[in-house]
């Protein structure tokens, strides 16, 4: 009888759900550059003269949560900004080739190795 109880206990413990180990959250980072908006995402370039020359690459794509993204797109245009957010690696294997950031869809129009999940934006005077 104790052999059956031990076998049953072993089978139940093997079937118990295993908690997923989540990586430690990346601390927010500050990104500075000149911004433009395209749909649900923004593109950030390092220097203003990239816009003047008509070269918007290399750049980094990102987005703020939907309401903040829409407000920023309506009030900030091709200005130097400071974006606070988390850097997330980009993979072409993502479902739908996009990342949903609180209602904003990042499609990585810049094609960089990472995108920015923004939490805050401020114009730099």
Residue 60's SS3 state is strand
Angle at 65 between CA 41 and CA 29, to 5 degrees: 80
pLDDT in tens, 47-68: 888 766 666 678 999 999 999 9
pLDDT in tens, 77-86: 888 999 999 9
Q: Contact, 14 vs 31, CB < 8 A?
A: no
| Domain locations in the chain as residue ranges | 28-123
Query: Into which CATH architecture does domain 28-123 fall?
Result: Beta Barrel (2.40)
Mean pLDDT by runs of 10 across the 125 residues of the chain is 41 41 64 92 88 73 96 92 94 85 94 95 93
């Amino acid at each position: 009888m104790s052999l059956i109880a031990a076998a049953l206990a072993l089978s139940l413990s093997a079937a118990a759900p295993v908690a997923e180990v989540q990586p430690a959250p990346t601390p927010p980072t500050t990104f500075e550059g000149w911004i433009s908006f395209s749909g649900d995402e923004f593109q950030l370039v390092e220097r203003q003269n990239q816009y003047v020359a008509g070269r918007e690459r290399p750049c980094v794509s990102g987005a703020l949560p939907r309401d903040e993204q829409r407000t920023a797109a309506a009030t900030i245009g091709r200005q130097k900004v400071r974006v606070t957010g988390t850097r997330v690696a980009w993979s072409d294997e993502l479902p739908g080739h996009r990342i949903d950031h609180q209602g904003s869809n990042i499609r990585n129009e810049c094609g960089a190795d990472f995108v920015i999940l923004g939490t805050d934006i401020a114009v730099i005077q």
